[in-house]
């Protein structure tokens, strides 16, 4: 008895092909939709991770600290929770050096590369708690903590070491003369030879506005540029304060 081979009839073959193509089309569409969703979600997540808390927004925020009003772009404000207008106890900024600009996609590597601490300066603005800024504290306070002879520091600055029991044992103070004869003073933890610098090796505070303390931190690699940095920081602060005084307050 010979086995009978099954031969598909033309109408059966056509029906099979139509069903197959329909399922294939639906499956392909579903797969494409899933791929698009994964791609969009991955892109959104990737962008969020890449931003890492930064923003490119240049929206201006009016911030009131004590009696001083500042106008600052969102992309210069370091922390997301501080990016709003209104009263604040303090505000933290980060800016490229020497451009003094906030975050953007074009300079994102400078904000994320810890190996280039000289690329940024960090600023903290708060209401003054001391009557004198760092320069004003040199004679009445810091001068009594100096030990050893003055040494030559970077950028023409004079380096003074501080007593071990002063509370500043790991720090040195660097002094210079500002235009007009005012004293420039900055405290630094200088890295040992062969050790990397950080973005907070040095710190200096100044008084601005009516009652603001501006503390800025930077890498010790930037010490040779201390005069340019002081000038740029003050100009940035004055621009942020320009015409932002409260009603009834006169210009000094």
Residue 196 lies in a domain: yes
- Predicted pLDDT of residue 52: 65
- Predicted pLDDT of residue 160: 98
pTM to 2 decimal places? 0.77
**Which of 19-23, 143-147, 217-221, 245-249 has the least mean pLDDT?**
245-249
* Whether the predicted pLDDT of 63 surpasses 90: yes
Query: Does residue 120 share a domain with residue 87?
Result: yes
Residue 1 lies in a domain: no
The boundaries of the domain holding residue 46 are 14-51
Residue 248 lies in a domain: no
Query: Does residue 144 share a domain with residue 31?
Result: no
Q: Which of 64, 74, 71 is nearest to 102 (CA)?
A: 74
Query: Does residue 203 share a domain with residue 158?
Result: yes
pLDDT band of 29, cuts 50, 70, 90: low
The tally of domains found in the chain comes to 2
**Which of 28-37, 68-77, 126-135, 170-179 has the least mean pLDDT?**
28-37
Query: Does residue 110 share a domain with residue 77?
Result: yes
Query: Does residue 160 share a domain with residue 219?
Result: yes
């Amino acid at each position: 008895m010979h086995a009978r081979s099954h031969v598909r009839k033309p109408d059966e073959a056509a029906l099979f092909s139509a069903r197959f193509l329909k399922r294939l089309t639906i499956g392909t569409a579903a797969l494409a939709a899933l791929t698009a969703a994964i791609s969009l979600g991955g892109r959104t997540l990737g962008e969020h991770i890449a931003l890492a808390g930064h923003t490119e927004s240049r929206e201006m925020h009016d911030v009131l600290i004590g009696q001083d009003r500042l106008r600052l772009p969102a992309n210069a404000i370091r922390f997301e929770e501080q990016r709003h207008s209104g009263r604040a106890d303090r505000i933290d900024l980060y800016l490229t050096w020497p451009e003094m600009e906030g975050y953007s996609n074009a300079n994102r590597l400078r904000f994320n590369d810890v190996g280039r601490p000289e690329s940024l300066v960090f600023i903290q603005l708060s209401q003054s708690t001391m009557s004198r800024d760092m320069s004003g504290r040199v004679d009445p306070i810091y001068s009594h903590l100096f030990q050893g002879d003055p040494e030559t520091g970077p950028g023409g600055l004079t380096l003074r070491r501080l007593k071990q029991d002063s509370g500043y044992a790991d720090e040195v103070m660097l002094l210079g003369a500002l235009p007009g004869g005012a004293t420039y003073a900055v405290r630094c933890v200088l890295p040992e030879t062969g050790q990397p610098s950080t973005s907070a090796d040095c710190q200096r505070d100044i008084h601005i506005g009516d009652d603001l303390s501006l503390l800025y931190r930077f890498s010790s690699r930037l010490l040779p540029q201390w005069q340019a940095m002081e000038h740029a920081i003050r100009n940035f602060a004055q621009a942020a304060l320009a015409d932002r005084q409260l009603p009834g307050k006169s210009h000094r």
